[in-house]
Chain A
């Protein structure tokens, strides 16, 4: 067990180091640009006084390491913002303030987060079910016509951009067949049923493309496991083929699938940006695209840090789950 504890510790330290490194990169990329940093941060419509204030806030007169330290302090203990007339406290983790909307970035993100989480989690359930199901089925039906059809469909799935699937689904289902209304986000707490109905299409759009990747991976992993000795033993003992494939081989094939799923969070976040924009869902993806278009730098930086945090967390969880699923990893 000490081996496993040490592994956990190493992984946790690694995740923290990665996060710190990301914060350095983000800081350098966005706050050490050659242009007028205060002007860029404040936005195109700022008055010279406001720009001056932002420069004070970011401590642009200080040496670089002190500026970065100030930025880190904000993240861990919070900092005060002077808005000219009053002083506002921004509690940790302080991601700064949007000078265009005068809102704190963390507040903006927190109001949008439930939409994105609803979208990604729902889609994840779908893509795991669809992906693993398809993968198992095509490994089971190997060499038959149904397997060729499944393989062709998943290949087409991997080749279709998420916004194309979404567009086509929306036009066919909402526009032509009128089976569903055009999606409009409803809070889960307000009306769970409407929440689900409205998210159904976005879930499918995001899930189909991810499912294709899972189907391919599951199939490959299943075929590998099916060729192993213990499976041959099961067969020799006369265990039913359905049980061999569906239970014993699937168990062996799950480890890489778990790893892919957590590692896929980054890609799912990217897909969520597209899905939200396409369907007009007010999540953090849509907010990010908006912030990029109006050059609201503090919001952009906050989004990068928050999504980076989730992705690093997911990667760490993936490695741990992988080690749990396959203990040889820790022992090695």
Chain B
């Protein structure tokens, strides 16, 4: 890890950095950003809540799937009985309209689904993206052409539409959270493959990689031992931005009623019917909306912080114009060949467009 960061520093900025201090320097830079620290604390809390969901609900004495017909007023269309949507000592955040399921339990179990799906999808995206990117950069011309075109095609597919379509054809018996994870992971790996390819191409030209090749190492060994560590920084940076994007996609799919299905709780799914109930049970709208907002915001701020800590140039570019003529950002800063300069420049924007797509 420390080695990895140091390598990228050297490759990126031309400033020699002692190898030992890489990881430490990352923490120092991250700690220096107050917003990122707060965000990290929030994220840690959310992860804790998600992990401890069974414990927390046991403490409350409820579970997320039991119906409580006695707590809702069926004469008034299923409005929870009591103020603020039925908040009581037994039901800390009230109950759901119509079903009477416990809101607190559904919310904390929803955190599990949200974070679990987003993190697992990110792992899938990174696995595919890194494999494709490294293979494209190290393979011969044809392999590179083939993989790069495939990546272009994946990037140009509208994520939301493809996810919806894929969700239609898989039998209902397939476990839904796993399916949503796979769909997001299998569709949205294009940007990361592009970044990894560019970074690998630039690392490939460095002396220590040439030295390894001259000592007769095989391609596979070089990829694993010499290149992968150097890819850590850009991959971590991009992964940190993918997680909140994936959370939004899962929420959106579940909101549309094609993602995670009841009885499994999901924040997006909770919002589906919320507009009908906002007067009778405002917490039914506010809690999942607030949870989504806080989670995505915290992860986004943390992602920005990680990027700043790993690539100080990004920070200086954003905060104080450096005057350096340096185009769109980390993804195509390196390894760009002249004939695909247009592509690269447009894709630089496309990279952020993809993040956006996901959060739309």
Contacts and interface: CB of A to CB of B under 8 A. Distances in A.
Contact of B321 (A158, A160, A227, A297): A227
B293 A160 contact: yes
Contacts of B285: 167, 171
B318 A223 contact: yes
Interface in A60-100: none
Given A21-B149, A270-B160, A300-B165, A35 B171 contact: yes
Q: At the interface, is chain B mostly helix, strand, loop or mixed? A: helix
Contacts of B169: 29-30, 33, 40, 295, 297, 300
Interface in B321-353: 321-323, 325-326, 328, 338-339, 341-343, 345-350, 352-353
Contact of B300 (A158, A263, A269): A158
A136 B112 CA distance: 40
Interface string B272-316: 001100110000010001001100110011000000000000000
B271 A274 contact: no
A248 to B, nearest CB: 14
Contacts, number: 219
How big is the B interface, by class? 35 or more
A148 B301 CA distance: 14
Contacts of B297: 155-156, 159
B104 interface: no
Given A270-B160, A289-B256, A220 B317 contact: yes
A175 B158 CA distance: 33
B98 interface: no
Nearest to A182: B275
Contacts of B166: 29
Given A33-B169, A297-B169, A270 B345 contact: no
Contact of A312 (B156, B257, B296): B156
A106 interface: no
A256 B328 contact: yes
Contacts of B341: 328-329, 332
Interface stretch (B48-56, B78-86, B202-210, B244-252): B244-252
Contacts of A318: 346, 349
A263 B321 contact: no
Interface residues of A, number: 78
B350 A263 contact: yes
Given A171-B285, A315-B346, A161 B292 contact: yes
Interface of B: 149-150, 152-153, 156-162, 164-169, 171, 244, 248, 251-252, 255-258, 268, 271, 274-275, 278-279, 285, 289, 292-293, 296-297, 300-301, 317-318, 320-323, 325-326, 328, 338-339, 341-343, 345-350, 352-360
8 contacts: A161-B268, A170-B275, A209-B356, A210-B360, A256-B349, A266-B357, A292-B167, A307-B158
